[in-house]
């Protein structure tokens, strides 16, 4: 298992663990660093998922809490968000305060692999833009681990990419659509709805521009590390290209039976 700091950098599309201490600075202009919170809210509302004061929501790899905080605001539901990056958790706590939902949100610095093993079961589990293969090495281990923290009859929200069945593109981080759906089905998940974003490309380009500005600032301050910072901008650009041209990104609502 690689070092958790390297894993976090990879989950944020970087390829050099030395970037870890600079990630909060580089991503300071972005709150939602993965899943679109409105998509999650829409999936739950439009499919009449019962959410009340006793509903327990777990947001695994919650980043800066964009999904957790907006879910708490939209539904008045309690959310437990965990992420391995302390700086993101601090920001999530501040955002919950800003949105007036501190009472509903609990954020902690934890590793996903530990939290799923704690033996607590949640009604709704969110695994948003946290690459399953980066955290677990492969999809089967990731999906079977998720079953350990979802109540029977509960729901999973997954935001991830896949390769079209008829594509010859290869990428060890993702699998083909039918393989992905087959793995969920064989682990007890039924797909209720899958949703596609329409503005992903524009948004990713905007995010990359913000990161470029911050990388330039860091390069001016630490010229000896300019290559490291500009390398991160390059990996963001490559990732945008892959997302736009090679992969399909979707957000799924599954029921765990
Ligand atoms: C692309 S971000 C997505 C954040 C959030 N889910 C969202 O959609 O806004 C991926 C997150 O996964 C977190 N992460 C990666 N590996 C982790 C692990 N083993 N345990 C906890 N968090 C992890 C990273 O720190 C990062 O915040």
Atom 24 of ligand 1, residue of closest alpha carbon: 8
What pLDDT is stored for residue 198 in this prediction? 80
The model scores a pTM over 0.80: yes
**Which stretches of the chain drop beneath a pLDDT of 50?**
1
With tokens 């390059």, the residue in question is 234
Cα-Cα end-to-end distance for the chain: 31
What pLDDT is stored for residue 203 in this prediction? 79
CB-count burial class (<10 Å; 0-12, 13-18, 19+) for 61 = buried
Nearest to 110 by CA among 83, 89, 90, 86: 83
What pLDDT is stored for residue 53 in this prediction? 83
What pLDDT is stored for residue 2 in this prediction? 64
| Six-digit token string for 152 | 């029977």
- CA–CA separation, 12 and 142 (whole Å): 18
- CA–CA separation, 197 and 17 (whole Å): 30
Secondary structure element (H or E) that encloses residue 245, with its range:
helix 226-245
Q: What is the pLDDT of residues 197-256, one digit of tens each?
A: 887 777 788 999 999 999 999 999 999 999 999 999 999 999 999 998 999 999 999 999
CB 171 within 8 A of CB 249: no
| Six-digit token string for 7 | 């894993």
- CA–CA separation, 183 and 23 (whole Å): 33
Ligand 1 centre distance from Cα of residue 20 (Å): 13
Q: Which is the closest atom of ligand 1 to the Cα of 34?
A: 8
Mutational test site, ligand 1, from 31, 83, 114, max ligand atoms within 8 Å of CB? 83
């Amino acid at each position: 298992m690689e070092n958790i700091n390297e894993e976090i950098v990879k989950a944020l599309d970087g390829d050099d663990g030395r970037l870890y201490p600079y990630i909060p600075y580089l991503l300071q202009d972005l709150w939602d660093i993965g899943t679109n919170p409105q998509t999650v809210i829409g999936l739950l509302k439009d499919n009449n998922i019962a959410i009340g004061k006793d509903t327990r929501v777990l947001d695994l790899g919650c980043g800066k809490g964009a999904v957790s905080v907006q879910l708490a605001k939209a539904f008045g539901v309690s959310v437990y968000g965990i992420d391995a990056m302390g700086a993101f958790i601090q920001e999530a706590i501040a955002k919950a305060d800003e949105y007036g939902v501190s009472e509903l949100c609990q954020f902690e610095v934890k590793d996903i692999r530990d939290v799923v093993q704690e033996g607590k079961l949640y009604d709704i589990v969110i695994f948003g833009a946290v690459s399953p293969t980066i955290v677990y090495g492969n999809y089967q281990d990731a999906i079977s681990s998720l079953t350990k923290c979802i109540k029977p009859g509960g729901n999973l929200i997954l935001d991830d990419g896949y390769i079209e069945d008829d594509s010859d593109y290869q990428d060890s981080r993702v699998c083909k659509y039918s393989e992905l759906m087959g793995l969920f089905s064989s682990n007890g998940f039924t797909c209720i709805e899958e949703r596609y974003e329409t503005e992903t490309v524009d948004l990713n380009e905007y995010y990359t521009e913000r990161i470029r500005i911050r990388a330039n600032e860091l390069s001016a301050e630490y010229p000896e590390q300019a290559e490291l910072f500009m390398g991160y901008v390059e990996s963001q650009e490559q990732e945008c290209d892959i997302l736009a041209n090679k992969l399909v990104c979707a957000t799924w609502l599954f029921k765990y039976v």
